Chains A and B, each alone.
Chain A
Amino acid sequence: MTIDEKTMSTYRQSLILALRLKDVPGDRIGEVVAEVESHVADTGEDPTEAFGTPREYAAGLVDEHRPDPWWQTAVTIACAAVAGWFVGQGALALLLGEAYLGRSGWLWLGLGLVVGIPAGVRVHRRSSRVLDPRDGADLAPGSRWGVAVLVGLPIAVVLVGWLLVLALGR
């Protein structure tokens, strides 16, 4: 008996999500998913029958991976928010040729990057790609629109703010 691709694909995506929520690094997730797929291909068992539900299996693996404490996540989110605010205000100040809170836009922009880069590195580490150790394939390819939205949205917000200020200033 072989498991149909739809069952395996559903299980794979749920397991990746469950492990992501446990803060398991991408390379380790790829390893776990490949083990499940390889075992199921050998036995012909249903993945839920052999490993339990994705959530149960992910919870059972927490012993081997200790997730970051909650306060680290809170600090990362706070730093990302503050950095976004500084970069946005700095960029807007530069576009308008004005100071923000009496300081140059460049200062706020630089401050935003200093605060934001460590947070960005942490987020990137958590969202590292899930690669299949057997053939290097990406097991959870992101949407092409995902990056566009992530980069484009803050720029769009700054530009809209700039245009609004220009329009209202006239």
Chain B
Amino acid sequence: MDEDELPTEWLRAVLPLAVLSAVAQEETYGYAVAQHLQAAGLGAIKGGTLYPVLNRLEADGLVASSWREGVGGPGRKFFAVTDAGRRHLDRRSSAWHDFTERAAGLLPDPRGTR
């Protein structure tokens, strides 16, 4: 495994929350979310991974979507966070930080011994 490559199960665990967080920052569309996640260091998220997550968030009532006409191109599906989505993001983010802190406490930190 490439040293910089994140295990897919880690990505699978954090992706719904990371996508919800991206949508909560501003109303946005799929490709922009993928770029946002890549810029944050999560790697290139394929469309086949991203859209099922966005659609699941929508089915759960955490985001809402609407199609808008593109300028000189095809329309884009924009996603916006709902009130329920914002509450969910707050709760789960807090729980996630608790979880990762506890997990980090169990692991050695090779970065400090370099």
Contact = CB atoms under 8 A, between A and B. Distances in A.
Interface size class of B (residues with CB under 8 A): 20 to 34
Contacts of A32: 51
Nearest to A37: B74
B52 A50 contact: no
B47 A45 contact: yes
Interface string A16-44: 00000000000000001011111111110
B52 A41 contact: no
B3 interface: no
Given A45-B47, A133-B67, A134-B69, A38 B76 contact: yes
B46 A38 contact: no
A50 B46 contact: yes
Contacts of A34: 67, 74-75, 77
B41 to A, nearest CB: 19
Nearest to B68: A134
B101 to A, nearest CB: 31
A39 B70 CA distance: 12
A64 B31 contact: no
Contacts of B74: 34, 37-38, 41, 134
Interface of A: 32, 34-43, 45, 49-52, 56-57, 60-61, 63-64, 133-135
